[in-house]
A and B are shown apart, each in its own frame.
Chain A
């Protein structure tokens, strides 16, 4: 068990560019979550996968955001036409099924849009 891995750790991009982040969850975990966190705030939910199915998506997520989890393993989060307001830490977490299963978080990808 190597934990949840996220790549890259940091990403600096210019406004208008597209970016893609990757998350490798703990291998036996079938639930995968994406969150966004800005300085001094708690994580904000973006989307949730059960295996390969995207079951819930935040209304905060605009059309510029898309997430996939092909084959129910790793996941990618893409942001198109980035804006300065997208600058944040993007956190991925995974868990087993079952009420109360704790989330295991990666160390996040810090995005800076200039």
Chain B
């Protein structure tokens, strides 16, 4: 069963708008990662934020992490049609090697 939940499940926005996706988890973590998946393809790593960081930027991506609330958010600014994809958060529990993925947010950016 998934131990990470994301919301919204689906998001439809106009090109140029910002998109915000949220991830919640239930355990203590060392870091949290975000991945993107285009339809029918494998996942691609976007960004990692460590548990001692609160915010991180990479190009048009901004990630925040609140370990007290066990939540993270991914903001994509000035969205483009090419950003249309599913986005997943992922994290490791302290005692495990495996990366656990959230349920994902399906983003549609309308041209």
Contacts and interface: CB of A to CB of B under 8 A. Distances in A.
Interface of A: 4, 31, 33, 35, 40-45, 48, 50, 55-56, 58, 91, 93, 99-100, 102-108, 110
Nearest to B103: A42
Interface residues of B, number: 27
A91 B42 contact: yes
Interface of B: 2, 4, 30-31, 33, 35, 40-45, 48, 50, 88, 90, 92, 96-104, 106
A107 B101 contact: no
Contacts of B45: 102-104
B42 A4 contact: yes
A33 B98 contact: yes
B89 to A, nearest CB: 9
A102 B48 contact: yes
Contacts of B88: 42-43
A41 B4 CA distance: 11
A103 B44 CA distance: 8
B101 A43 contact: yes
Given A102-B33, A105-B44, A42 B104 contact: yes
Given A4-B42, A42-B88, A91-B43, A33 B99 contact: yes
Contact of B4 (A31, A42, A48, A106): A42
Given A50-B97, A56-B96, A100 B42 contact: no
A105 B42 contact: yes
Contacts of B90: 103
B42 A48 contact: no
B103 A41 contact: yes
B42 A45 contact: no
A103 B40 CA distance: 17
A55 B97 contact: yes
A33 B92 CA distance: 13
